Amino acid sequence: MAAWMLLASVGAAAAAPTQGGTVGLDPWAVYETAWFDTVGVADGLPHSTTTAIVQDTRGVIWIGTFGGLARYDGYRMQVFGQEPDSYAGAVLPDAYVRALMPLADGGLLIGTNAGGLVRFDPVTTRFHVYPIGAGGTSNGKIFAIARARERDAFWVATEGGIDRVDVGTGKITRESGQPGDAKDMLARTFVVTEDKAGNVWAGADNGLFVRHPGGRFQRVVSSDPAIDEILRDQVWALFQDSQSRLWVGTGQSGAVYIDTQGHAQLVPGFSGKNGMARRRTVRAFHETPQHVLWSATDGAGVVTYDFNTQQLRILSHDAAMPSSLPGDITRDIFQDSTGNIWVATELGAAHYDPNGRKVFSVLPSPLQSHTLSNANVHSVFVDPRGRIWLGLGMGRIDVLDLGKGTMHHLQLGGEQAERDVQAFVVAPDGSIWAGAQGISRIDPDTFALRSSMIPSLDGRLILSMQRDGNQILIGGYDGLFQYDTVTGKLIQMRHDAHDPASIVGDQVRHIVRMPDAWWFATISGISIGYDGQPGFVNLRHDPADPASLPQDYTGSMVFDSHRRLWLGTFGGIAYLDTFHPHGPFRFGLIAAREGLVNTKINALLIDHDDRVWASMANGVAMVDTASHRVSDLGIRDGLRIPSYIHRAAAEAPGGELMFGGLGGLTVIRPYWVAPQIVPPRMAVTHVSVNDKSLPLADVPEDGGRIVIGADGRNLRVDFALLDYRAPMETHYAYRMDDADTGWNEVAHGIPPSAIYTNLASGTYTLRLRATMRGLDARTVETSIRIDVTPRWYESPWTLLAAVALAVAAFFGLVSLRTLYLRRRAELLQAQVDARTRDLKAANERLDHLAGTDELTGSLNRRRFLEQAERVRQGAANDGIPFSLVLLDIDDFKTVNDTFGHLAGDTVIRETMRVISSMCRADDLAGRFGGEEFILCLPGALAEHALDITERVRHALAALVIVHGDYRIRITVSAGVAMWRSPESLNSLLGRADEALYEAKNDGRNRSRIAGL
């Protein structure tokens, strides 16, 4: 099951504003994916299984796990466990945390599995363990903690019954199992809550019980046998919603609710053993401000229920979608102060931002019907019926019908089956033509496919298509084609260097109808074909003319409402404030100086408010056409797909903007406004003086202060923006007034900390700053006061006496020092020269060693990737191809197990020797790790690289490696991938790795070429 939110997370499934201001269902609901970020063991959690999540009064998140308690500020994890080296020496009596409850003083109540009830004291940074038994809790196993209506009072559900604790006095009273309680109420109680009317509800091992004010616990029953059976199941979760209904989560029967008249009601699809919970325990409830109930289940993921539409949705783990819920065993749900919804799972704490939905992704997964059938979206097209056609990799096409909420998956056949689908057009007969390697016809009603519509174009890669009456204009790598659908006549137009009226370039990437003309965008400029005139008028970049086309690699073109033309190029966004069909064409430019983070513009779209949206190689930007102000979209807006494809863009019927990328489809709602949330807090989360942590109660808030005693001079202040939303897109800086001359920028990817050593005595102001990326980009600042107490010798009189003594000593020693320095000058100079030579030689040796694999003497992984990246950048500039080859020794573990690890080392050295001996002078060869090797072959097409790889493979297969008395033979498998512009090195490595695994899966001792 995939992680589908379908707008249920924020209630927009019920109603979403449209462009005209009316209200209706969001047609994108069934395609939108909830994107979860996960905090796991790799981030510092003591155990992957998380059980409870809360936020303290400072805004810091606390996460309970099977292995301890963690305090998390978005960057750092402070862990409390049973080990003596737990944070600040605070030790839990039991590392299995079941329940958490934040307290007003910044502390916590903690329920453990066997260690009883614990209170964390932020003043002492220690745990207070309440007694078990007489004067304490009924049992050491604490299942749940709930607030009572009285201040500082809490209900505690335990293995032995219900207790009530007053944290102010420390008094604990036994509340269940008393005279007058239902005799069949079992002591084992999983959950307890007190509603607004003062009724205390208890979920026990054998059903639901209630104690009305002044009464005793009685079983809750229903006259409906089906409901009564559910109410007698184990009850694990209780929650009173905004409509004062009490929700009851059971062990195997899903959930029901008790209305304000006291009657239990079924929820179709959620109640009963055949409901969405699939007999899994419902462990927790949470209602969002948009009135959507989230229900955590122990094995079926999260079930959401929209109070407005009564729609149920499932959020669950999808193995093909890393952004889905990490695991289906969920134990708690919590929404923090800035709106993030946290889910405690068995594979970490996942959090989802329901407010970052101006942008969302349609992602690939083979496990769902409403997900893409391929990761890469190469073309986006809207047909006359408003259906969205997505041209994908490997000959796949997905058709989204927003009106019906369906998605059809099509697969081209023949030569097109393995090629990217890069163009669509509506033919005169109403059919849809798709261009990949050749052209296929698709019936718009039945989706029946017919390959080879134009046989003479079979085998040619199609980049663009447009209809001109009965003519189809077709752009490819071989120029421009004009096909007459009536006569079947095909005319080809190519660039002729001797004819200035020929098309400007043979790679025709985009075709646009303009007033009185067709414009053809190529990688060599733009050709204009005027109606009724032969030949083309060509626009190119002229280095001597700043108003010429800024770059010859061109693509998207759009007009705004003022008839200004906006043009995407690989040199930025060009524009014509005044467009005349026949010119002159004097372009303005929006590029890096105006704020574009990348000038390689892949596609442009314009919304109804005349804002230009541009997809780039590494993101999406919005440009205000009036001011030319550039805003970069970020994760806080919902942008998750990092890289985009040339020309893959279109406007959806509802005004949404769609951009195709490497990883899925990005959809932008230009007019969607996020709900108002509490502005994120910039907070100090940890302070240490001379490497000793301050108690959490002493960590200052905004405007607070830190006092450093006379024995302390080293200070570390950890801080963070507590919105938990895009830590890698938040830039931090700090400065200490009277100590720093400017802001100290925190390096990207490093947890923000302000560190000072040897502070002089005095009073300082430490300023902390966070800058967020996105359409709502802003800067948040806070400051604290630092008081450094002077040491005894730092008094004014002591300093004056020291200065006087220093002056006298200076004049007394100056003559002796001068004589000494003269005698030592020549000797020191000679030593400096000798040491400079030694240092230079040592640095050269260190640089060589840092890039060399110590076993084989070849390039190591780091140095190889550095040099391979230079090859890729060169290829991007001059267009010369290159290929990567990954080779892996087959069954290398058998060599180690049979002959020993020293023999394995000999095999690796000999393998590297053979590989290196067969490389050309410009080739790069290195050890990629373990028994894996890598080659970079500049100038080599895939077939040439395969030939070199095969020679290496045969040479290694024929080699007999001698190690002592052993004679060892090996074979290798290899994957070959040729670089395709503008592909990153990581993507190229991934494709080579896929080809290597294909070779392994096909039987080893063979080579395979990665597909495009």
For 528-537, 797-806, 840-849, which range has the lowest pLDDT when averaged over its residues? Answer: 840-849
Mean pLDDT of the region 290-306: 96
pLDDT of 300 above 60: yes
CA–centroid distance for 374 within its chain: 19
Nearest to 46 by CA among 11, 79, 17, 93: 79
H/E segment holding residue 707: strand 705-708
Classify 230 as helix, strand or coil.
Answer: helix
Whether 21 shows a pLDDT value over 70: the answer reads no
Q: What is the DSSP string of 274-340?
A: TSTTTT--EEEEEE-TTSEEEEEEBSS-EEEEETTT--EEEE---TT-TTS-S-SBEEEEEE-TTSP
CB 587 within 8 A of CB 564: no
Residues 759, 773: contact at Cβ < 8 Å?
no
Q: What is the pLDDT of residues 650-691, one digit of tens each?
A: 999 999 999 999 999 999 999 988 888 788 899 999 999 998
pLDDT (average), residues 881-895:
94
Q: Tokens in use for 617?
A: 């190689």
| pLDDT for the residue numbered 845 | 63
Confidence of residue 1012 (pLDDT cuts 50, 70, 90): low
What is d(CA 217, CA 238) in angstroms, rounded to the nearest whole number? 16
What mean pLDDT do residues 201-210 have? 98
φ, ψ (nearest 5 deg) of residue 202: -130, 130
CB 305 within 8 A of CB 270: yes
Using DSSP bridges, classify how beta strands 153-158 and 142-147 pair: parallel, antiparallel or unpaired: antiparallel
CA distances from 5 to 25, 300, 726 (A): 14, 15, 20
Residue 831 pLDDT > 60: yes
Q: For position 489, what pLDDT does the model report?
A: 96
pLDDT range class, residue 588, cuts 50, 70, 90 = very high
CA atoms within 13 A on the CB side of 521: 26
Element spanning 692, H or E: strand 692-693
pLDDT at residue 16 tops 60? no
Q: Which helix (H) or strand (E) holds 190?
A: strand 189-194
The answer to whether the CB of 438 falls within 8 A of the CB of 458 is yes
Reduced to 3 states, what is the DSSP secondary structure of residue 706? strand
Kindly state the average pLDDT of the residues 398-423.
Answer: 94
The H-assigned helical ranges of 383-496 are: none
H or E segment and range at residue 907 = helix 901-917
The SS3 of residue 897 is: helix
Contacts of 946 (CB under 8 A, 6+ apart): 976, 1007, 1009
Least-confidence region, from 7-21, 297-311, 615-629: 7-21
Q: Mean pLDDT throughout 171-182?
A: 96
Pairing verdict, β 126-129 and 117-121:
antiparallel
Q: Quick one: pLDDT band at residue 9, thresholds 50, 70, 90?
A: very low
- What's the average model confidence in pLDDT over 14-26? 41
CA distance 70 to 254: 31
Element housing 848 (H / E): helix 796-850
Sheet containing 601-606, strands listed edge to edge, beginning at the edge strand earlier in sequence: 601-606, 611-616, 619-624, 630-632
Residue 18: is it exposed, middle or buried by C-beta count within 10 angstroms (0-12/13-18/19+)? Answer: middle
Among 12-16, 363-367, 847-851, the minimum mean pLDDT is found in 12-16
Answer yes or no: are the C-beta atoms of 236 and 212 closer than 8 Å: no
Instruction: State whether residue 272 is helix, strand or coil.
Output: coil
Given the residues 175, 194, 346, 931, select the one marked as catalytic: 931
Closest Cα to residue 110, out of 83, 134, 91?
Answer: 91
Cα-to-chain-centroid distance, residue 614: 21
Beta strands in 456-600 (DSSP E): 462-468, 471-476, 479-484, 490-493, 508-514, 517-522, 525-530, 537-539, 554-559, 565-569, 572-576, 588-590
pLDDT category, 22, cuts 50, 70, 90?
A: very low
Tens digits of per-residue pLDDT, 710-720?
777 899 999 99
Residue holding tokens 């700043």?
546
End-to-end CA distance of the chain: 29
pLDDT at 813: 82
Cα 786 from Cα 757, distance rounded (Å): 13
Question: What value does the mean pLDDT take over residues 616-641?
Answer: 94
pLDDT digits (tens, 9 = 90+) for 457-504: 999 999 999 999 999 999 999 999 999 999 999 999 999 999 999 999
Mean pLDDT of all residues in 806-813: 80
Label the pairing between strands 972-978 and 1007-1009.
parallel
- Write out the two tokens for 17: 């504003």
Average pLDDT, the chain: 91
Name residue, tokens 């932008």.
668
pLDDT at residue 519 tops 50? yes
The per-residue pLDDT for 805 is: 82
pLDDT (average), residues 816-827: 75
Closest CA to 33 of 663, 727, 613: 663
Secondary element (H or E) of residue 956: helix 942-958
Once rounded to an integer, what is the mean pLDDT over residues 292-306?
Answer: 96
SS3 category, 368: coil
Residue 216: CA count within 13 A, CB half-sphere: 10
Count of Cβ atoms closer than 10 Å to residue 466 Cβ: 18
Region 793-798 average pLDDT: 67
- Is 745 an annotated catalytic residue? no
Q: How many Cα atoms sit within 13 Å of 189 on the Cβ side? A: 34
Query: Residue 381 contacts by C-beta under 8 Å, 6 or more apart in sequence?
Result: 388, 389, 390, 391, 424, 650
Containing 976, the helix (H) or strand (E) segment is: strand 972-978
On the CB side of 161, CA atoms within 13 Å amount to 20
Number of neighbours of residue 170 by Cβ within 10 angstroms: 13
The pLDDT value recorded for residue 794 is 66
Measure the CA–CA gap between 656 and 669, rounded to whole angstroms: 5
CB 130 within 8 Å of CB 137:
yes
Token representation of residue 8: 């249920």
What is the β-pairing status of strands 77-80 and 438-442? unpaired
Q: CB under 8 Å to 682, separation ≥6 — which residues? A: 702, 719, 720, 721, 722, 768, 769, 770, 780, 781, 782
And the tokens for 336?
């923090």
> 644 — phi, psi (to 5°)?
-125, 165
Whether 859 and 926 have beta carbons less than 8 Å apart is answered as: yes
Least confident of 70-79, 408-417, 435-444: 408-417
State residue 84's pLDDT score: 76
Question: Does residue 868 surpass a pLDDT of 80?
Answer: yes
